[in-house]
Amino acid sequence: MATYMTQRPETAAAPATSIELAEVEKVYRTGKLEYQALRGVDLSIAAGEMVAIVGPSGSGKSTIINMITGIDRPTAGTVTVGGQRIDQMSEEDLASWRGENVGIVFQFFQLLPTLTALENAVLPLDFSHRGFKRERFEQAAHDLELVGLGDKLDHLPSELSGGEQQRVAIARSLACDPKLIVGDEPTGNLDTHTAADMFDVLVRLNDEGKTVLYVTHDLSLAERAHRQVTIRDGLVEEGE
């Protein structure tokens, strides 16, 4: 198993952040059709926790992730992350908040195929115009080293295994040193051994103090969280 660095150079780890959902409902409408994905969810996650969200397909797991990351807005209820009501933010403020505070890792790696691992990892820093170009690339290189890819900076996604591509995605999510790491089935596209190896990176990030929240169908990975929250039919069934 690979060994990873666990600290950014010359910076302390960002403080973790807390999450509070209160009576959150989400209704999707298509024409005259309505689908209620969430039916009044109350959920509290403490700063620094590592929480797994589990439940059957279509239960509302990804919708909860979308509420917490501000990708989507609730139809009713409140979403508070790090003491801020993100459901009340403008789209511009929400995009800025997300870029500063949240790292998102998806099941499908969503790497740009014509860019190297380093170029993919530096994208969030480029979008946020942080520092000088040289400093951004140095930070992205360090993030790739953190996830065990310091020797593959110049590799294209097609030259990397699935597990390595997911590590690039994690490195990219770390670009702005977020307080919250969110994974939506982050190991769902990997074999069991590779998933367990990659998951160790999330554990180490949590050990640094970051809040880690992830959706998974893999019960063995869910059991590695501090707590499991089960969602069924748009409601929290257990784990509060």
Cβ contact 18:187 at 8 Å: no
Q: What is the extent of the structural domain holding 199?
A: 49-56+93-238
What angle, 0 to 180 degrees and rounded to 10, lies between the N-to-C axes of helices 162-173 and 133-146? 130
157 inside domain:
yes
Q: Give 3-state DSSP helix, strand, coil % of the chain, rounded to 5.
A: 35, 25, 40
27 inside domain:
no
234: domain CATH number is 3.40.50.300
Spatial CA neighbour of 52 closest among 177, 211, 234:
211
Confidence (pTM)? 0.84
pLDDT tens digits along 143-195: 999 888 999 999 999 999 988 998 899 899 988 889 999 998 888 778 888 88
pLDDT tens digits along 21-78: 999 999 999 988 999 999 999 999 999 999 999 999 999 999 999 999 999 999 999 9
Count of domains forming the chain: 1
84 inside domain:
no
172 inside domain:
yes
80 inside domain:
no
Q: How far is CA 239 from CA 66, 78, 82, 225, in A?
A: 19, 19, 21, 12
5 inside domain:
no
226 inside domain:
yes
112 inside domain:
yes
